[in-house]
Structure formats: C-alpha cells, structure tokens
Amino acid sequence: MIEIKKLASIVDDAAKNATPINQLTGTHTFNESEAYAIQAASLKRRYLRGERLVGLKLGFTSRLKMLQMGVHDMIWGRLTDKMILEEGGNLQFDQFIHPRAEPEICFLIKKKIEHPITLLEAGQYIEAIAPALEIIDSRYENFKFSLEDVIADNCSSAGVVLGKWHNASTAIENLGIVLEVNQRPVQIGSSAAILGNPLRSVVAAARLAIQYEERILPGSILLAGAATPAVYIQKGDHIQARVEKLGRVAVNVI
C-alpha cells in the first residue's frame, strides 16, 4: 500500500514553499489511479487552508505538448481560486519554482455535467469562451517527470490568467494562437492542435470527471490544454497570448 497522504504532503509542501523535489516515482511505485488519489489528497490540504476549487484543466491534449514533456496520455488537474491571476496584472516570480507559460482556451461551464457527453452535445454545457494563459510550475527538479508524477503533482497547475469572455457559439475549431514574450512571438499554433477541436476537451473532461468522481459545476472553468509547447518565463517579462477571434490576455512577471 502506498502512503497517499504522505506523498500528497510532499507535493503540496513543494508547491506551498516553491521548493523543488525529486520525482516521487524515483522512490515509490504507484499507478495512474493512485496518482490521482495523491492529487486529490494534496487538494484537500489546499481546501483546508481555505482555497476553493474553481475548475479543472486538461493537459497533454496536443501532440506538441506530449512530445515536449515525453509523455503519452492526457491528464487532468484541479484549479483553485488562489491560482487565478489578474489579467494585465503581476505574477510574483519568487512564488514559483521554474514557471512556464502556455496559451490556452478556457470554457465557462453553464450546466452541471453528470454523464458522458458527445462532441455534438458539448456546446450546450458552455456559457462562454475566453483566451487564457496558464502558468505551469512542476514541483519536480528540472521540470522532469513521469505521467504518474505529474498527475500526483496536480498536473503542474500553478496559475491561470483569463481574458475576456466571448459567446459560446464562437467557432473555435481552428483559431490561430500566438504566445508572445516581450512583444515577440515565441510559439505559434492553432486550436486545431487541441484534440482536433478544443470542444473535445469538454467531452474528455466529462468522461474523466465521472471516472474520478469530481464534479463539473455551473460557473466553473475548464482549460482545454495548451496548443503549443510551454516557455520558461523570467522576471521582467511581459507574457501575452493572442487567440484569433478571442483576443489577447497578458501578465507581467515581477
């Protein structure tokens, strides 16, 4: 039996103190569902400190992200209110270990999702769509992990910046996406890289949430997964994502 609570406290302390740790799978053997149990237990610690669940995120929904991180499957994690950063505001670099930014598409959920849904049905569950920046900050040394490690570490979740909400009927299956650092494009991609259509992330989230007994509630957010690889960010950087039709979203690293 692996010690779920102990491993949860290790990843949680690493995040809280912005101190890197060795990969848990270096010293412990656990499977994917045990990794999700560690993630859930680490979130419980955040809730006890007063953080609130505001939504979910999917990861590795694009081939480029899987290739960048050397993993082979989709993952999902939880987002809390403490991770939400003000659009156009500041990100305190020292509160992170080795943060990276990636461009995202975010859904605002309209109706509770309680059963598996199809791609055709996905639109009914969406209230609005926004461009977003996700800040990921693996708690593992050198941002290196196995799939089980990254799941246990809440999928590197660390920060989310949301842009303006747009109508849920906006066609999003093939939108140009640019990630800029200090006004220079550093990653260019298309929303089509996200499972062929980011709405498929809603379908996948529904399936995974049911499988792992998490709820997708009205008013919660869902990050579809980055369309491009993530980039390391530095103090002094201005980070901006532009998504065709959805506009821009930015944050300053201080």
137 is a contact residue toward Mg ion (CB under 5 A): no
Exposed/middle/buried for 66, CB within 10 Å: 0-12, 13-18, 19+?
A: middle
**Which stretches of 53-192 are DSSP H helices?**
63-69, 119-122, 147-152
105 is a contact residue toward Mg ion (CB under 5 A): no
What is the residue type of 183?
A: Q
Task: Report CA dihedral (23, 24, 26, 32) to the nearest 10 degrees.
Answer: -110
Strands (E), the chain: 53-59, 75-80, 84-85, 90-91, 100-109, 126-136, 157-162, 166-167, 176-181, 184-190, 221-223, 231-232, 238-243, 247-253
34 is a contact residue toward ligand OOG (CB under 6 A): no
Q: Binding segment for ligand OOG among 1-9, 11-19, 133-141, 199-207 (CB under 6 A)?
A: 133-141
Residue 138 touches which of Mg ion, ligand OOG, none (CB < 5 to 8 A by kind)? Answer: ligand OOG
Selected from 109, 155, 199, 209, the binder of ligand OOG by CB under 6 A is 155
Q: Decide whether 112 or 212 has the Cβ nearer to ligand OOG.
A: 212
Cβ-count burial 118-137 (b if 16+ within 10 Å, e if not): eeeebeebbebbbbbbbbbb
CA distance 154 to 132: 19
205 is a contact residue toward Mg ion (CB under 5 A): no
Binding residues with ligand OOG: total (CB under 6 A):
14
Residue 155 touches which of ligand OOG, Mg ion, none (CB < 5 to 8 A by kind)? Answer: ligand OOG
156 is a contact residue toward ligand OOG (CB under 6 A): yes
CA distance 227 to 111: 26
What count of Cα atoms within 13 Å lies in the side-chain half-sphere of residue 42? 31
Q: Decide whether 126 or 158 has the Cβ nearer to Mg ion.
A: 158
Q: Binding segment for Mg ion among 34-42, 81-89, 112-120, 131-139 (CB under 5 A)?
A: 131-139
Q: Which two tokens stand for residue 127?
A: 């209230």
Selected from 24, 225, 240, 243, the binder of ligand OOG by CB under 6 A is 225
Residue 65 touches which of Mg ion, ligand OOG, none (CB < 5 to 8 A by kind)? Answer: ligand OOG
198 is a contact residue toward ligand OOG (CB under 6 A): no
Tell me the three state secondary structure of residue 135. strand
Q: How far is the CB of 136 from Mg ion (least distance, A)?
A: 6
Residue 117 touches which of ligand OOG, Mg ion, none (CB < 5 to 8 A by kind)? Answer: none
226 is a contact residue toward ligand OOG (CB under 6 A): yes
Residue 80 touches which of ligand OOG, Mg ion, none (CB < 5 to 8 A by kind)? Answer: none
CA distance 250 to 241: 6
Q: Which residues bind Mg ion (CB under 5 A)?
A: 134, 226
Q: Which residues bind ligand OOG (CB under 6 A)?
A: 57, 59-60, 65, 69, 102, 134, 136, 138, 150, 155-156, 225-226
